[in-house]
Structure 1
Amino acid sequence: MNLSVKLTAVERDTAVVTLDGELDVSNLALLDAVLLPLPGRGVRNLVVDAARLRFCDVCGWRTLESTDDILAASGGSLAIASPPPELRRLAEMMRELSSPADLPIKMYDSVDHALEETSGDLSRPYR
């Protein structure tokens, strides 16, 4: 399955990752290669633009959760913007399987809204 991953810096500690295609176990290495170095580069807040994500399996979702946990350890977070209905449903199913202590990944209707909520008042909007 094909996946395109585009990283855009928004602020010094904030970035947007745009996913296009299908996220599953066969292409997790690509996503890991983009996401895992981000905390070491000072990124604390990450917005995943999922508007063009056509599929995500459980392994893909767990990678997003794992990234959220890493960012949370440094006071940041991961948010998902423009999730398709299938991704919202997967998130609900995974939430039912999680322990009550696990905080769900926040989802927003747009990248701009996610950036406002996760980073505060940004001086330049994402485009």
Structure 2
Amino acid sequence: MHLAVDITDIGPETVIMTLVGELDMFTQPVVEATLIGLQARGVTRVVVAAAGLAFSDLSGMLTLCRADEELRLRGGGLTLAAPARQVLRVNGLLAAEGLPVCRSVTEALGVRLARRPHRTHAGPKRLPRPRSSI
């Protein structure tokens, strides 16, 4: 079982934790230690980028749920972003204790991408209608 964990700082209290591989009882201690270290740094908001997380067992999800509870006590929380179907199933088994889920990291961060202003084309100038001389 292999799990890669990468941390990207977004701000002083927000990070993206990217998980790639499998989160199970063998790799769960790595995630738990990482989350404890983040909390010690004062991080209160964690977005777990889970698109590369191929598998998670119940022990892995419970570790993330416990971290979410701790972060909520400090005014933050943990969000699962873009999880695979199998990871969603395990999260769903947790019912009320399950993690909030977003479709993407961007959505989880609450970032709204700026839309390009819409250009309107005025088209050719219209000539005035000829007046009838009756």
| Structure holding more strand per residue | 1
- Per the alignment, residue 69 of structure 2 pairs with 69
1:105 matched residue in structure 2 = 99
Find runs of 4+ consecutive structure 1 residues off by over 2 angstroms.
none
Give the superposition deviation at 1:88: 1.1
Structure 2 counterpart of 1:56: 56
Q: Structure 1 length normalisation: TM-score? A: 0.83
The within-5 A match list for 1:2-81 is: 2-81=2-81
Which blocks of at least 5 consecutive residues in structure 1 are unaligned?
122-127
Amino acid across the alignment from 2:74: S
Across the two proteins, how many residue pairs are aligned to each other?
112
Greater fraction of residues in helix: 1
What does the per-residue CA deviation read over 1:29-70, in whole Å, with 9 as the maximum and x for residues that have no partner?
Answer: 211121112122111110000000000000000000000011
Larger relative contact order, structure 1 or 2 (CA cutoff 8 Å, min sep 6): 1
Q: Which runs of 5+ in 2 are unaligned?
A: 113-134
**For the residues of structure 2 that align with 1:33 and 1:115, how far apart are their CA atoms?**
23
Aligned sequence identity (%): 35
Aligned counterpart, 1:114: 108
Letter in 2 for 1:45: R
